Amino acid sequence: MKEFYYLYSKPEDKKQRISLVGYINKKENLLQIGLSECSISDQYNRKLGRKIAEDRSKKKPYIKISLDGEVTERKVLDILYKELNNFKDININNL
């Protein structure tokens, strides 16, 4: 099982992009999700977005989700997709 899982939004209208990183905290059996947002006025850089979201997933996660039962890649990615859809319409800078 990997330690980090990556997901990013790819809007058709070229609005803001969001990078999500799910960090598997094996010690506490948690999925810690970090995120970063690229302003619509900035040039999107997926590598930088991932790095920022990765750091946040470990130090100051957006959300922590308890992982019950068997942890699979599909389960982690399903959670990340759900969380991405949950906050696509909110202003992440105000969190």
Cβ atoms 56, 48 nearer than 8 A = no
Q: What pLDDT sits at residue 6?
A: 85
What's this model's pTM, rounded to 2 decimal places? 0.80
Residue 30's closest CA among 71, 64, 58? 64
Identify the burial level of 55 via C-beta atoms within 10 angstroms of its C-beta, where 0-12 means exposed, 13-18 middle and 19 or more buried.
middle
CA distance 58 to 41: 27
pLDDT digits (tens, 9 = 90+) for 35-73: 998 877 888 888 999 999 999 999 999 899 999 888 888
